């Protein structure tokens, strides 16, 4: 008597994770990994590097086939999604999409592997991501020990990006750059793909599906036990009094027509302008008929490939286009 059945569920975040009353954590997705290699289709080279042994932070680097053949290349520092609880930089979910982006944009990519909750609750993911960003910046002016960064990267063309929770992290990193600075780099832009933002008071159609609202709130409080709630500025940028200090020059936000998170993504750029952000440009692109982070599940679909081309345009400062 008194012992808990190992099958009793304490937290159910299907299809991502279940946590049982006996403390067992069951990750339902994002467990697979694929080795770093040369992508046969694009010729993009990949390799894994350690950024910090303690705390353990690492990354997968992507180098396009044309590196070294002309001017130095833009670099995208990428943060994976997964609700802060699943996935990694080494997941097959990301390999194809990031190889396509590196090849089309002729850009170096640093895909960051940060610690996950609940073993490492927030702010661990934000702290690890900042550590990784500073590691990248340390290679400007010939510093650092990663040859791909020293030899091929133009540190005046640094970009941050991420999907879902990774978009939340990318925003957080851009805020920190704006508030604290980051020596040796120019943060040219950020790309947020279906970012994981929410708030206490529903906007647009957010209140239509009580199940989604409950899921988001429960997940956020689970990964961030010390949060102030749904209006925590990390989750709801509108509530950050220093929002206008976002430390990048350009913003590109992707939303999907059928994604419950789309309303906050649409609001992001409008609120930036309202609060007086002085950046050069901001844009929201909506993928018609698509759902949350659609490009990761169908990376060669028409809309996903349109995104790849859009990102290439964004990173290389050409006139923008829409899906």
Residues acting as catalytic residues: 164, 259, 292
Residue 300, C-beta contacts closer than 8 angstroms, at least 6 positions apart: 96, 100
Q: How many CB atoms lie within 10 A of CB 17?
A: 23
Kindly give the interhelix angle for 165-180 and 124-137, rounded to the nearest 10 degrees. 60
Q: Where does residue 151 rank: exposed (0-12), middle (13-18), buried (19+ CB within 10 A)?
A: middle
Are 158 and 186 in contact by the 8 Å Cβ rule? The answer is yes
> Which strands, in side-by-side order, build the sheet including 187-193?
45-53, 56-63, 108-113, 73-79, 153-163, 187-193, 250-256, 281-287
Find, among 112, 108, 110, 111, the residue nearest to 63 by Cα: 108
User: Cis peptide before 15, with omega less than 30 degrees from 0?
Assistant: yes
Element (H, E) at 190: strand 187-193
Find, among 272, 250, 101, 113, the residue nearest to 187 by Cα: 250
Element (H, E) at 312: helix 302-315
């Amino acid at each position: 008597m008194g012992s808990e059945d190992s099958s009793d569920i304490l937290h159910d975040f299907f299809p991502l994770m279940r946590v049982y009353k006996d403390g067992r954590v069951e990750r339902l997705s994002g467990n697979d990994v694929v080795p770093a290699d040369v992508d046969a289709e694009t010729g993009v080279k990949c390799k894994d590097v350690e950024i910090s042994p303690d705390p353990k932070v690492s990354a997968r680097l992507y180098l396009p086939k044309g590196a070294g053949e002309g001017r130095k290349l833009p670099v995208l520092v990428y943060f994976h999604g997964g609700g802060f609880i699943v996935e990694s930089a080494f997941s097959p979910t990301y390999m194809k999409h990031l190889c396509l982006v590196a090849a089309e944009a002729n850009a170096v990519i640093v895909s960051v592997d940060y610690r996950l909750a609940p073993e490492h609750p927030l702010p661990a993911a934000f702290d690890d991501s900042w550590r990784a960003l500073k590691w990248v910046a340390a290679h400007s002016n010939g510093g650092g020990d990663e040859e791909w960064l020293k030899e091929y990267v133009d540190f005046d063309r640094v970009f941050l990006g991420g999907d879902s929770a990774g978009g939340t992290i990318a925003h957080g990193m851009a805020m920190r750059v704006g508030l604290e600075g980051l020596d040796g780099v120019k943060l040219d832009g950020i790309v947020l793909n279906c970012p994981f933002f929410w708030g206490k008071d529903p906007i647009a159609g957010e209140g239509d599906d009580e199940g989604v609202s409950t899921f988001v709130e429960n997940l956020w409080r689970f990964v961030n036990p010390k949060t102030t709630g749904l209006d925590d500025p990390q989750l709801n940028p509108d509530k950050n009094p220093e929002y206008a200090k976002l430390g990048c020059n350009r913003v590109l936000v992707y939303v999907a027509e059928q994604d419950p998170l789309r309303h906050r993504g649409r609001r992001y750029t409008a609120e930036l302008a309202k609060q007086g952000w002085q950046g050069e440009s901001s844009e929201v692109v909506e993928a018609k008929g698509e759902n949350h982070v659609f490009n990761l599940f169908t990376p060669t679909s028409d809309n996903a490939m349109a995104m790849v081309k859009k990102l290439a345009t964004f990173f290389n400062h050409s006139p923008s286009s829409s899906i």
